[in-house]
Every structure is written in structure tokens, then in C-alpha cells.
């Protein structure tokens, strides 16, 4: 029987433009309000949308705080987020208001791992610098001392956060002959470690000191906020490269920029930043840093798959069942 609190044809507001196939399907199944201009919602836009829908479909760049949720009308019953991360939503406030929150976990695992591996290769080998040299028209031809970088075969890779993406990166890095260690809240079972050829490091300080390349793959929480700070950066090898395709707030950017400016570490490959899209302009002047515009999961296939998961979560909820990707923090 249809739950009276769950409309059979819910009004769904989507904050950004999604894949055509996803938007077409949403329009068939729901009273969908699409964003054809793909203009980012302001805080005021989000508040207005939350007052006018049964289900809000935000993305990871839409900040939905406790005040917005507390003041939302009772009509809003579900926030079906497009993306795996949920740090942009105040989950405690949503739980208090009995608003279900869903996400799309696992969809972008392989895409993000691919991009991470691209940065692991590109930063030590100075690919971005090489491209800029060609484009400048100042390349004078090959020479033994030209554009020297570091090989990655035999180097030690430290993975911070060994969830789906961290493990996918480990599988790729192993194929390049890298030695893999990892730090995680919990050690993986021995069989999984063996399959990944990865060794557990219980103390993050030890991992920071011993690795040639460090890559971040943990969520942003109060505990992980700026976990890569000035103290830990100071313990890195002078030839170490930091890779971040997870969340910008995992890194103290001021400390990182200072270390890169002074060449205290080898370099960095970044796809995420603390104040996106307003990147600290000091990054733009660094030669030892590769900067990408948060495109780790940007594939046609991944985006459409995420949209399909959003649709499934809404449809299952509207049919009176628990959505498969409900974020259960605090609910069970």
C-alpha cells in the first residue's frame, strides 16, 4: 500500500543539469523540475527549492546546512544526492527532521582511481610542465638533462583511506611496480591485503615519513579536516609528491603552498580544493603542481550511472520502501 506521506508522483527538483537519458527518465517517472541552464543554485535558490518539492536532488557542491533543513517545510521528505560524498549535507539535522538522505556510492570508483593514477604518473614525470614548454614555443629539442623527473616503478605509494577508491588505486599502482602501504581506520583482512599487495601502517606519521608518493582517499569529516597539515608536510621526504582527488578540506592549503613554494616536497597533483571554484591564486604560480578542475569522476558513463542510482533511490522510496543507498548514519 502506498504510504500517504510518500506521493506516487513526487515533485523532484534537480539542482544541476544531468545526462539527457537521466533527465528524460526523471521526467517520465516524476514531476521533475530540471535545470536546463546548469546554473549553480545559490543558498536562496536551494531554500526556495526545498520549500517546493518532495525530493531535492543536489550535487556535492550544494551546501545544505542545519538551518536550511530545520526551516524546510514538512513536504520535503528526501534528499537524493548525486555523488558519493555527503559532507555537504548536515546529516544530523536531516535525521532530526526525518528527511531521508541517499547518495550514489561506488559509481565513480574506477573513474576516480583512473584519474588518481594519471596524477601519480604525471606529477613526478612533469607532464604538465612538458606540455607548457611545448606550447610556449621555447623547447630547444631533446637533451640528456632536459625535463628530468622521477620514475614511479619501485617507489613507495602511501594510500590514506583504503575504501573502494583506495583499493582501486592500489590495484593500478601494483601494475606499475610500486610498493604499496596504506593507513585506514581499520586494517583490511589479510586476504585482501595480499590480493592488493599492500601493507598496513597503523600510524599516519610513519606513512608520511616513509612514502615517495602519498594519495588521499578518505571522506571529509571533523576528524579528517586538514589532516595533512604543516606538521605532517614537514615530515615528508623532500622528493615526496602529494596527490588529492578526494576532498580539498583534507589538506591545509596554506601549509601545502608554502612547502611547494620552498620546494620542501617534490610536488603535488590536485583535483580538489578548499574553496572551489575559488582556487588560491598562489597555486597558479607553482611549476611543481598539477591542477585539475575537480574532474576525477567526469566520464559520460559514470555520470549517467550516478543519475540512474538517484532515480532508483527516489522510485524505491516513492513505492514505500527503504532506498538502497540510504545514508544510515544515525538511523540504525
Residues annotated as catalytic (active site), given as ranges: 247, 276, 294
Cβ-defined contacts of 223-227 (< 8 Å, 24+) = 224/249, 224/250, 225/249, 225/250, 226/250, 226/251, 226/252, 227/160, 227/251
DSSP state letters, 71-101 = TS-TT--EEE-BSS--TTB-HHHHHHTT-EE
Sequence-separated (6 or more) residues with CB below 8 Å from residue 223? none
Q: Cell numbers 526523471 label which residue?
A: 26
In Å, what is the CA distance from 280 to each residue of 215, 246, 254, 284, 286? Answer: 21, 18, 9, 8, 11
Residue 199's DSSP bridge partners are 181
Q: How far apart are CA 43 and CA 60, in angstroms?
A: 14
Amino acid at each position: 500500500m502506498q504510504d500517504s506521506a510518500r506521493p506516487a508522483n513526487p515533485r523532484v527538483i534537480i539542482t544541476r543539469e544531468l545526462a539527457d537519458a537521466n533527465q528524460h527518465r526523471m521526467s517520465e517517472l516524476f514531476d521533475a523540475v530540471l535545470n536546463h541552464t546548469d546554473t549553480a543554485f545559490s543558498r536562496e535558490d536551494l531554500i526556495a527549492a526545498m520549500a517546493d518539492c518532495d525530493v531535492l536532488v543536489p550535487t556535492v557542491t550544494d551546501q545544505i546546512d542545519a538551518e536550511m533543513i530545520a526551516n524546510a517545510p514538512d513536504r520535503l521528505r528526501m534528499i537524493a544526492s548525486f555523488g558519493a560524498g555527503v559532507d555537504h549535507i548536515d546529516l544530523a539535522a536531516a535525521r532530526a527532521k526525518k528527511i531521508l538522505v541517499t547518495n550514489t556510492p561506488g559509481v565513480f570508483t574506477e573513474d576516480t582511481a583512473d584519474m588518481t593514477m594519471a596524477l601519480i604518473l604525471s606529477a613526478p614525470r612533469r607532464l604538465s610542465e612538458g606540455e607548457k614548454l611545448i606550447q610556449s614555443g621555447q623547447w630547444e629539442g631533446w637533451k640528456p638533462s632536459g625535463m628530468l623527473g622521477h620514475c614511479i616503478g619501485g617507489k613507495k605509494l602511501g594510500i590514506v583511506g583504503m575504501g573502494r577508491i583506495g583499493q582501486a588505486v592500489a590495484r593500478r599502482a601494483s601494475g606499475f611496480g610500486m610498493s604499496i602501504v596504506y593507513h585506514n581506520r581499520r586494517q583490511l583482512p589479510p586476504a585482501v591485503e595480499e590480493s592488493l599487495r599492500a601493507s598496513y601502517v597503523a600510524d599516519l606519521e610513519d606513512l608520511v615519513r616513509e612514502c615517495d608518493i602519498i594519495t588521499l582517499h578518505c571522506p571529509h569529516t571533523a576528524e579528517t579536516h586538514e589532516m595533512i597539515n604543516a606538521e605532517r608536510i614537514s615530515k615528508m621526504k623532500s622528493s615526496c609528491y602529494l596527490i588529492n582527488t578526494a576532498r580539498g578540506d583534507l589538506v591545509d592549503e596554506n601549509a601545502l603552498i608554502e612547502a611547494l613554494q620552498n620546494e620542501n616536497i617534490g610536488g603535488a597533483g590536485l583535483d580538489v580544493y578548499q574553496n572551489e571554484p575559488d582556487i588560491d591564486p598562489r597555486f597558479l604560480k607553482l611549476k611543481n603542481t598539477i591542477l585539475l578542475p575537480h574532474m576525477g569522476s567526469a566520464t559520460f558513463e559514470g555520470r549517467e550511472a550516478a543519475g540512474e542510482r538517484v532515480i532508483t533511490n527516489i522510485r524505491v522510496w516513492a513505492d514505500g520502501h527503504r532506498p538502497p543507498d540510504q545514508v544510515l548514519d544515525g538511523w540504525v
